[in-house]
Structure 1
Amino acid sequence: MNETPPHFSIKNNYQKYPGKYSDFLTNDILRDICFRITGREEYTVDFIEETNVGKLVLLEYNNAVFYVLVPDLAVNGRNSYFQSFPTSIVKYYNDPCMERSIYFYFLPFKGNNTTNYYKFLYRLMATAGVSFLNTSEYLPFEIHPFTTLEDIVAIRESNRNRNKSNNSTYITKSSDNTVEIFGKTYGANKKETTLLCLALSNILSERAKLYIICEQNLTNLPAPDLAVIDSLNKIEVVQTTTTMERRELELNNSLRSARFIYNLLDKLGPKKCAFCDCDIPQLIQGAHIWPVAKIKRQHQLTLDEKLKYSTNRDNGLWLCENHHKLFDENLIMLNSNGEIQFSSEISGSSLTYLTGSTPKTSLDLEFINENVELYITKRYS
């Protein structure tokens, strides 16, 4: 038996604020963590001043390193509670030590950590490789990792429908069957993007693309996060900036914009044709109501204004390939109230076919607003 007891390294400036953290990083807590992982109750401990590692406790024993994520009970808010964990998980992935594992240790929680959103993030953490030490003492359910992309998308959308503020990262598939991740770079958004990528890397068999949607002058994820995502060789990172999109808009009468797709996912949810309810993502495209070519001809607008209209969430619909083509050719049209109409040029068997293949008679009311009505008017003006 190894005579050297397990050793704790308490990180993230815990020793700097002893009054703030001493209430929950007690000897009893450390002893319980130690016993659950190593089977031993005696341990040594020291404090290490190191920032930007999340709320992290390291336990070293028998040449192995055990990362233990400990929630910071001093923070308020759902995003603040989770924001530090992806940072610690990234540090874990970057650790060259071959003998390592990562855990989560629950502490008494004053709020409600059993919501569907919390459950979703716990499951993402489990999919990313985190084991939970004492779930049964704090949660009425077990935490199971996701096993399929479709499961993640369905639960993500279910959470979004319950709380419209859950809107930072989205997943879909392109026409060539590539898994596409759209994530933002600011605050808690970037951490959810990182956590989602780490989780997906463990269940995807094919290579995916991560489109980084920059905001507040941030054009990328943190360097350690990018390094880990790149090292896993499962996800290609694609930079998207307004400069790049502005340049494409200058050169073309169409715009393949990651920001536009992100905005449609944010407003409309998963890909589903607005005219026929086809929900096969590989067949669904983002269609502009006010076409980009028409926007470009508005000489009174600046280039930035044209880009704003071309990527606006209210200037788009999900349409299947057939209905997108029919819409572009104005064989199917919309009136200002969002009602679907057929061109007078269509008659006979063609009209019968279109009527049968277009079961919707109008856009869903929840997605119609004054901006949508304005874009429809501009389309036909």
Structure 2
Amino acid sequence: MNKITIFLKDKKLLEKNSFQEVLKSYFERRGVIYEDKNINYQKTNEIKTEYCLIVREEGDKNTTEDVIFTSSNTNKEGRNTAIGQAFSPFLNTLDSFKFVSSRCKLYFYDFNTFSADVVKFDFSCIEFLFLNGFSFKNICFLGNSSWKLKGYKNVDYNSINGINFFIEEKDKLSKRNKANQGTYFELIDSDLFFTANLSSANFGSTILYFFVISKLYTNMVKVDYFFNKHTTLKHWEKFKDIIRKISNNIDFVEELQDVELIREENFEKLNEELKRRTYIYHRNLYDKFGPKKCFLCSWDVPDLIVGSHIKRFADIKNDSYLSDEQKREEVVDRDNGFWLCVLHDKLFENGFIYVDVNKDRFELSEKKIAEFSNVVLLEEKIYSTMSSSWNKEISKQYMTDKTREYCTAHFKRTQI
């Protein structure tokens, strides 16, 4: 009989009936009789989670190394434990173990109970496959698993454009489920910014996202985090300790550089600061409105959606009534803007569209349109950019007092 070695994190797992059930299901799937006496169990620090087992079978002619990822030891109701917090160390395990994917199969045991989180798991699995050279034929299911990969069967992994593919898929995931809108990252002029969501339910999946990014993007990643009532400095320090073990190319941006927005003596430093503030502004809009989608026409092509300031950067910069600190705050204020497509951004910036603060809705500017000789043609062309479902109303959750102040200033600048 071939020599079989099972690598695991902790030999105490051998005492669990669920562990034996996983192995019986695995050997049954392979058509091999499970006999404990013929198996050598070896504890290793290379395995980072108890939910992962690696089975090495050494024969006369070839050696196989199969990987089992199991949810059987988790609380069935606590899907975040297996999907979010166990999967990232599982990936880290595979990265450390240096297995050969061509001679290895990946077995999932008992994942049908996690249907509510299948979208997030689909996404995680796809990135795992892409990074480690797996194909769909390498995937097997054990126990009661009925989970299936959705929507990726025709993906050509050889043509995937690394980090861009990952960002696009994360954006799609965020649009499908608001619960997946926690962590935010964006490429701005070839610089990658990453803002972590460190609340308990998102902590594990955030590490997973960073793990994938560190493999796809080899340059420096600028990292900060969302500060909210669920996140403390303790979470942030723990997160930093973990990702330092994953990558050395990290720039922790905990405080903004102290650069005056009204001075340009050090252009390089100022340019870096403005880029940083652009990202923070986008991150804040994301926190308020969700993924990039034009507020007016609902167009959602990320590369053609911009963070459109209500009070423009130039107006903030030249506002003599504001202190430097107030200027910094207004530039990144989530209440000072909307996601707009590039066309509606220009129409809004130039006053062809404005916000009526008495009605909390967008309106076309009769004044601006009247400035053109062919009024009817211009009005028709502007209307032609708007779908029948064009969103004019601004709900109370978005029309804050601060937003109303900015819109009043925009009206004075463009309509009076």
Scaled by the length of structure 2, what TM-score is found? 0.66
1:255, distance to aligned residue in structure 2 (A): 3.9
Correspondence for 1:10: 8
Instruction: Tell me which moved more, 280-289 or 42-51.
Output: 42-51
1:370, distance to aligned residue in structure 2 (A): 2.0
Q: Which one of 362, 382, 392 corresponds to residue 339 of structure 1? A: 362
Correspondence for 2:266: none
Q: Does 1:143 align with 2:149?
A: yes
Greater per-residue helix proportion: 2
Correspondence for 1:57: 53
1:299, distance to aligned residue in structure 2 (A): 5.8
Q: Does 1:73 align with 2:94?
A: no
1:102, distance to aligned residue in structure 2 (A): 5.8
Instruction: Tell me which moved more, 79-88 or 217-226.
Output: 217-226
Correspondence for 2:34: 41
Q: How does 1:1-381 map to 2 (within 5 A)?
A: 2=2, 4=3, 6-11=4-9, 13=10, 15=12, 22-26=16-20, 28-36=21-29, 39=32, 41-42=34-35, 43-48=39-44, 52-53=48-49, 55-62=51-58, 63-71=63-71, 72-74=73-75, 77-82=78-83, 83-98=85-100, 101=104, 103-107=106-110, 112-115=113-116, 117-129=117-129, 132-134=139-141, 137-139=144-146, 141-144=147-150, 146=152, 147=155, 149=165, 152=169, 156-160=173-177, 164-169=178-183, 183-184=195-196, 186=198, 189=202, 191-193=204-206, 195-196=208-209, 212-215=223-226, 218=236, 222-226=243-247, 239=251, 241-244=253-256, 247=259, 255-256=274-275, 257-295=278-316, 297=319, 303=325, 306-336=327-357, 337-342=360-365, 344-347=367-370, 348=372, 349=374, 351-352=378-379, 353-358=381-386, 360=390, 362-365=392-395, 368-371=398-401, 372-377=403-408, 379=410
Residue type of the partner of 2:385?
A: S
2:99 & 2:260 partners in 1: Cα distance?
45
Instruction: Tell me which moved more, 38-47 or 315-324.
Output: 38-47
Relative distance call for 1:259 and 1:46 in structure 2 (3 A) is: same
1:361 & 1:132 partners in 2: Cα distance?
44
1:113, distance to aligned residue in structure 2 (A): 1.3
Relative distance call for 1:309 and 1:69 in structure 2 (3 A) is: farther
1:81, distance to aligned residue in structure 2 (A): 2.4
Residue type of the partner of 1:105?
A: F
1:89, distance to aligned residue in structure 2 (A): 0.8
2:30 & 2:214 partners in 1: Cα distance?
26
Contact 1:8 1:45 in 2 (8 A): yes
Relative distance call for 1:135 and 1:53 in structure 2 (3 A) is: closer
Residue type of the partner of 2:91?
A: I
Scaled by the length of structure 1, what TM-score is found? 0.71
Q: How many residue pairs align between the two structures?
A: 353
1:68 & 1:85 partners in 2: Cα distance?
12
1:92, distance to aligned residue in structure 2 (A): 0.6
Q: Deviations over 1:68-127 (max 9, x none)?
A: 222241486332222111111122123334366463432487xx4112x32441453145
1:286, distance to aligned residue in structure 2 (A): 0.9
The alignment partner of 2:66 has SS state of strand
Structure showing greater Rg:
2
Correspondence for 1:234: none
Q: Deviations over 1:319-362 (max 9, x none)?
A: 23333233333343212213234262432436423344356462
Contact 1:10 1:48 in 2 (8 A): yes
Correspondence for 1:233: none
Relative distance call for 1:318 and 1:179 in structure 2 (3 A) is: farther
Contact 1:86 1:191 in 2 (8 A): yes
Relative distance call for 1:378 and 1:287 in structure 2 (3 A) is: same
Unaligned runs of 5+ in 1: 228-236
Please report the RMSD computed on the Cα atoms of aligned residues, expressed in angstroms. 4.5
Residue type of the partner of 1:166?
A: N
The alignment partner of 1:318 has SS state of strand
Contact 1:173 1:281 in 2 (8 A): no
The alignment partner of 2:18 has SS state of coil
The alignment partner of 2:247 has SS state of helix
2:27 & 2:262 partners in 1: Cα distance?
61
Instruction: Tell me which moved more, 145-154 or 83-92.
Output: 145-154
Relative distance call for 1:240 and 1:197 in structure 2 (3 A) is: closer
The alignment partner of 1:344 has SS state of helix
The alignment partner of 1:65 has SS state of strand
Q: Deviations over 1:276-306 (max 9, x none)?
A: 4443332221112233445554766673x65
2:293 & 2:111 partners in 1: Cα distance?
42
1:330 & 1:29 partners in 2: Cα distance?
65
